Structure formats: structure tokens, C-alpha cells
Amino acid sequence: MAPKKDRAFQKCINPDCGVQYDCSQTLVKCPACGHLLDIAYDWNRIPVPKKLSDFGKRWADRNNPLDFSGVWRFRELLDFCDDPHKVTIGEGQTILQRNDELAAQLGIRPGRLFLQYEGLNPSGSFKDNGMTAAFSHARRVGAQSSACASTGNTSASMALYAHSCGIKCTVFIGSGRIAYGKLSQSMDYGGKTLQVQGDFDDCMKQVQDVCRELNIYLVNSLNPFRLEGQKTIMYRIIEQLGWELPDWIVVPGGNLGNSSSFGKAFAELKQLGLIDRVPRMAVINASGADTLTHLVNNKKLRWNAGRVDNKAIGDFYAELTAKKFSPHTCASAIEISRPVNLTKCLRALDVCNGVVLAVTDAKIIDAKAQIGLYGLGCEPASAATIAGLKHLLADGVIRPDERIACVLTGHALKDPTVTVNYHKDKMGPFSNPPIEVPNDLQEIIRRMTV
């Protein structure tokens, strides 16, 4: 049980269990019942500012690394370790771009569409928000070695943070399942890379067993401390909207860590009286990896006050195993069929009155090209948001006058292969193929001017 004195503790999300554990323990699942864990707080013991806008005052003191960090600037809302343990490399300096041009393309009113560019993080994806939190906890517990399974961004981020705090790290990636931009990062940052002959789901299973066996610190989003850091993406969206709420958050769904943490962020802000309503959330799968969409839309799986129908999940996974299903999508970051945070995501959908849907690869790469053309660019998984938004607008689920924030999770340069192929092979209406020209001045001028 958590000692009474601690202001934060770990708590099983299963309401029939609800056992609490001290934050000095390293756990990824409840030892009592096997369900996921949350970080919970004794808010009476934490000096949370009275208004969200009070956090903005920290900008004036941004020569303090914790105030500069877009995660630790909100530290009272993730108060699970003392300052000396906190590790920061300047994560969370991301921008919310108002994008009227793309809005016009989609039939959305000016001033209503915003793109949250998480690709501007140090390792080029949103993962750094979570990794700064996970490695702060790793330092609190004195971890020597860390590991993760990854479709590429978690591994890049882990390697960067592990290196910055002198902790060893090992990356488990599915053979041939990772974009080169991401693979290059983890190798460059000194991560030991294991290419497992299997897909992400295979790696996720192996890494959990290895971490248990060798007492290694796991930094996948099963780690509840990591998800605490990802809550701050929502705080920064609110900050950049002048401390006002959007009507919709649109986010890609892979292992479902982001959507889970966003739901937790809003539930806590509401509980603390810092917001008076909760935005709605749309979680977008790729259709080649759409477990969430299938279970929610077809099987009507719900959070159900924490009493999730685990048999329905088990039966579906048994079907996947029986037909030797392996997910496939060009959005390799979200090529996942057994999302580890499924039940937490169901809770987030409940909190946010959320919707889920799946979009095809063709729609994803078109949307990616549009974001490149009208915005700052992103990787394919991130573009699932705009592809999904188009469907939700067409179906009347999202109205063109609502304020919409799409989370663009990873940088455009993470996966140049998909981008180059889209343009070179003229795969869609936004393709802009290169033109072969002879090494001849007149010919070059002629081709440039046609």
C-alpha cells in the first residue's frame, strides 16, 4: 500500500482491485490483478495553481531548464518525483499552428483548424514528452538499464534520453518494420538495437518478458509515468489557444498511449476545477491496424465504469492469432494490432465522449501530402488525423465551425521513403514528381518553363 506521506502513488485502474503502490516501485502492470496502472495524486498535498494561465508565468523564468521544458513547466500536474531526479533536454517546445489554408481545403471555417506540431521535439516526435517523465522516474528508482519495443519513435526518444542520463538502453524492433529516419536515430544515439524476426506486437511481448527477467526499466507506454508526461501536449494546446479549450482533439491511435493520457489530462483538469468542460476526442486508426475501431464500432466495447468486457478482447485476439494476422499500413508508426493501452483508451473515450474510425493508406498519404503542402509537414501516422477529420466532417460528426486541434505526432523527415514514393510514383492528386532532365542548359531551361 502507498505510504500516506507520498503525494503521488500508483493505482490499479480496475475498480474491482484498485490496489495502490508506492512510486518508488517499478511496475508496468498491477501485481495483484494484471491490469494497467495509473499515477494518482493526493491533490490536497500539491500546490496546484488556481488557474491554468498561472503556468504561463513560468515563461518569464525560462532560463530555469524546468520552466523551459514544455513538460515540466506544468510540473504540479505530474508531481511524482522531486526536482533533482528530473531529466530534461528541452522537450515540448512545440507549436500549435493555426492553418486556415488547410482548413479552407477541408471546408472548415477560418480560425478553427489547428495543428499541434509534436515533430518539433528533440527527437522529432511526441515521445519526448513521455520519455522525460519515464526517465525521471527511472532515475528516482536508480535504474541502470532501459528497453522498449518500438515502431521507431519510442526507440529514438528512449536512446536520446537514456544517453543523456547515462542509462543503458536496448531497442526491440520488428525486422523491416521501421522507417529509416527513426532507425538511424537510435543507432546514432547509442542504443543497442535488436531486430526481432516478427512485428511490433511480437516485440512488445518479448520486451516485457525480458525486462521482467533481467530487471530492466521498460519505457513503453505501459509505463504509467511515461503517460504522465504526454498529458502536457493537451496543456500546451490549451496554452496556445489563450487558455481556452478546443472542441475536438484528433489523434492517431497505435498503442493508444496518447489518447489514454489525453483523457486522463482532461479528467484531472476537470476534477481540479481548472476547466469547466471536456473536449471531444477522435482517435484515428489505419485500416490495416484497426483493432480499436473494430472493437468499439463493431463489437460495441466500452469502458463500462472500468468493467471492460475482457472476453471480447481475448476472443478477438484469438481470432487474430488463428488467422496469423499481422497488421500492415504505410503508417508504420501505428502498425499495431494488440494495443497495450486499449482499456485506458476506452476510459479516455468515455471521458471525452470520443469517436474512433479507421482510414485507408491511400487517404493517409494524400492527407500527408496536403499537410506538407499547406503546413509544416509530418510523418504518415500523424496524417491519419487529417484523413480521419475529412471523414468526420463528411459524416457531420465534426462541424466546420468547431475548434479542432489535430496532434501531428512525428516529423516529416522520419519517413522520407513513403513521401518520395508518393510523389515519384504519382500515387495521388498531390503528387509532385521530380523531372528527369539531360545535363544540358537549353534543355533544363526548356523543361523548367513548360
| One-character DSSP codes across 308-372 | --HHHHHHHHHHHHHTT-----S-GGG--SS-TTHHHHHHHHHHTT-EEEEE-HHHHHHHHHHHH
Burial call 91-120: b when 16+ CB within 10 Å, e when fewer: bbebebbebeebbeebebeeebbbbbbbbb
Closer to ligand F0G by Cβ: residue 88 or 255: 255
User: Considering the complex, what minimum distance in angstroms separates the CB of residue 41 from ligand F0G?
Assistant: 22
With CB under 6 A as the contact rule, the residue among 334, 364, 389, 404 that binds ligand F0G is: 334
Closer to ligand F0G by Cβ: residue 119 or 246: 119
Q: Could you tell me how far CA 149 lies from the centroid of its own chain? A: 15
Which helix (H) or strand (E) segment holds residue 152: the answer is none
**Segment interacting with ligand F0G (CB under 6 A) among 28-36, 250-258, 303-311, 396-404:** 250-258
Amino acid at 74: F
Closer to ligand F0G by Cβ: residue 70 or 257: 257
Contact map string, positions 6 to 35, toward ligand F0G, x by CB under 6 A: ------------------------------
What is residue 294's DSSP assignment? Answer: I
User: Considering the complex, what minimum distance in angstroms separates the CB of residue 256 from ligand F0G?
Assistant: 5
What is Dmax (Cα atoms) for the chain? 80
Closer to ligand F0G by Cβ: residue 280 or 338: 338
User: Considering the complex, what minimum distance in angstroms separates the CB of residue 6 from ligand F0G?
Assistant: 27
With CB under 6 A as the contact rule, the residue among 88, 116, 125, 223 that binds ligand F0G is: 125
User: Considering the complex, what minimum distance in angstroms separates the CB of residue 120 from ligand F0G?
Assistant: 13
For residue 232, state whether it binds ligand F0G (rule: CB under 6 A).
no
For ligand F0G (CB under 6 A), the number of binding residues is 21
**Segment interacting with ligand F0G (CB under 6 A) among 40-48, 248-256, 311-319, 430-438:** 248-256
SS (H, E, C) 227-284: HHHHCHHHHHHHHHCCCCCCCEEEEECCCCHHHHHHHHHHHHHHHCCCCCCCCEEEEE
For residue 254, state whether it binds ligand F0G (rule: CB under 6 A).
yes
Amino acid at 430: F
For residue 371, state whether it binds ligand F0G (rule: CB under 6 A).
no
**Alpha-carbon gap, residue 342 to 188, rounded angstroms:** 32
**Segment interacting with ligand F0G (CB under 6 A) among 35-43, 53-61, 191-199, 249-257:** 249-257
For the stretch 168-173, contacts whose Cβ atoms lie closer than 8 Å and that sit 24 or more positions apart, written own/partner, are 168/144, 168/192, 169/145, 170/145, 170/146, 170/194, 170/216, 171/147, 172/147, 172/148, 172/196, 172/203, 172/204, 172/206, 172/207, 172/210, 173/149, 173/203
Contact map string, positions 294 to 333, toward ligand F0G, x by CB under 6 A: ---------------------------------------x
Distances (CA, A) of 274 to 54, 55, 229, 239: 11, 12, 18, 12
Site for ligand F0G in 376-395 (CB under 6 A): 379, 381-382
**Alpha-carbon gap, residue 362 to 376, rounded angstroms:** 20
| One-character DSSP codes across 154-190 | HHHHHHHHHHHTT-EEEEEEETT-S-HHHHHHHHHTT
Nearest CA to 255 out of 283, 294, 215, 296 is that of 283
For residue 256, state whether it binds ligand F0G (rule: CB under 6 A).
yes
Cell of 292: 480499436
User: Considering the complex, what minimum distance in angstroms separates the CB of residue 368 from ligand F0G?
Assistant: 11
Closer to ligand F0G by Cβ: residue 26 or 337: 337
Contact map string, positions 137 to 176, toward ligand F0G, x by CB under 6 A: -------------xxxxx----------------------
User: Considering the complex, what minimum distance in angstroms separates the CB of residue 419 from ligand F0G?
Assistant: 14
User: Considering the complex, what minimum distance in angstroms separates the CB of residue 112 from ligand F0G?
Assistant: 23
For residue 252, state whether it binds ligand F0G (rule: CB under 6 A).
yes
Closer to ligand F0G by Cβ: residue 202 or 379: 379
With CB under 6 A as the contact rule, the residue among 181, 191, 253, 375 that binds ligand F0G is: 253
Residue 346 · residue 292 · CB < 8 Å: no
Q: Which residues contact 45 (CB under 8 A, 6 or more apart)?
A: 7
- Residue 150 pairs with which residues in a beta bridge? 173
For residue 94, state whether it binds ligand F0G (rule: CB under 6 A).
no
For residue 263, state whether it binds ligand F0G (rule: CB under 6 A).
no
User: Considering the complex, what minimum distance in angstroms separates the CB of residue 203 from ligand F0G?
Assistant: 9
Closer to ligand F0G by Cβ: residue 28 or 334: 334
Binding residues for ligand F0G (CB under 6 A): 125, 150-154, 221, 252-258, 333-334, 379, 381-382, 409-410
